[in-house]
Amino acid sequence: MPDADHGRTICKVIIFCCLLVAGCTILGVSFSVITPTEVGLYYNPNTKKLNRNIVRTSGRHLVCPGCDFKRYPANYIPFMYSHEEGTVMQCWTSDKQELSIELFVQVKILSEKIPEIYDKYQFNYYATWSQKIQMALKQTTKDYNTESMFEERGVVTAAIKAEIENYLEDEGCKVASVHVGQITIPYQFEDAITTKVVTQQNAATVLMQRNVTVIEAETTIIDSQADSDAAVIVGRANAEASVVREKANAEALRKTQQAEAEGLNEIKTELSLSVDQILEFKFNREISTLGSSTQIEVGYDDQFLSVKDRA
């Protein structure tokens, strides 16, 4: 029965080929690839179970048909807030100044925390983390004044990173880096500041002009006071000079008369003259000093009254 044997052989070959094709097909779909930038948890959709015990890294993994991995990024997750992205953040400083701040943050998911992240967010963690980062930034900038934001960027950046880490502490991730980009003052505030500065400068100018006027007035008062003081001093000096001069004349007259009296007294003593004789001597001496055109008036008891020129 060669024909019957031949037919059975052909059937076996066909069955083998079918099994081989089926096996290859099943084997092909029983592998799942995780890229180097991913990690994953094995998930069976048939049983709705997630294998939390093993976090799969990059490579080709054998899985049951229909099963796959819940993948999460293994590299850094960027959060960018910039003018180009239209996501620049508005913050306030401790001195009530609004600032526009560009911020770049990189976050890395912790592999051991992926089951918790999946239970909490599944794959919708980005929006929540972004909101927390923004809250951390705004919470930090209010502790620094505007000048510090520009001049102490290193200190401010470190404080922002610490606050972001605090906000993301229970989120199953770690903050890899924080970079503060361009910091600007919104144009409307710049205009307001310019107006304020101009107003202050005008006020300072008015105050300076007022001070100049006051100084000029005080200078006039000082000049007038100085003139008045000078007049008083000069007048006082003239008066004192007159007094000194009169005192000097009086003193000179007193000394002259005293000397004359002493001289007459010596003559009286040496010549043994009487008072009348001394007076007659004095009278004759006075007459001898007068010119020939002088008229002498003599009063009662030959008293000398006056001397005047003859008419």
Query: For residues 51 and 44, what is the distance between their CA atoms, to the nearest angstrom?
Result: 8
**Which regions of the chain are under pLDDT 50?**
1, 26-29, 293, 300-305, 307, 310-311
Check residue 2 and give left, alpha or beta (phi > 0: left; psi -120 to 50: alpha).
Answer: alpha
Predicted TM-score (pTM) above 0.85:
no
pLDDT at residue 43, rounded to an integer = 82
pLDDT at residue 305, rounded to an integer = 46
Query: For residues 36 and 34, what is the distance between their CA atoms, to the nearest angstrom?
Result: 7
Q: What are the E-state strand segments in 148-288? A: 173-184
Cβ(107)–Cβ(174) under 8 Å? yes
pLDDT at residue 14, rounded to an integer = 65
pLDDT at residue 45, rounded to an integer = 79
pLDDT at residue 28, rounded to an integer = 46
Query: For residues 94 and 148, what is the distance between their CA atoms, to the nearest angstrom?
Result: 10
CA atoms within 13 A on the CB side of 108: 13
The length of the chain in residues reads: 311
| Helix and strand numbers, DSSP H then E, in the chain | 7, 11
- Residue 115 makes CB contacts below 8 A (sequence gap 6+) with 41, 50, 52
pLDDT at residue 230, rounded to an integer = 60
pLDDT at residue 33, rounded to an integer = 75
Task: Specify whether domain 77-185 bears CATH 3.30.479.30.
Answer: yes
Q: Give Cα 86 to chain centroid, integer Å.
A: 31
pLDDT at residue 4, rounded to an integer = 58
Q: Where are the domains of the chain?
A: 2-72, 77-185, 196-272, 273-311
pLDDT at residue 192, rounded to an integer = 60
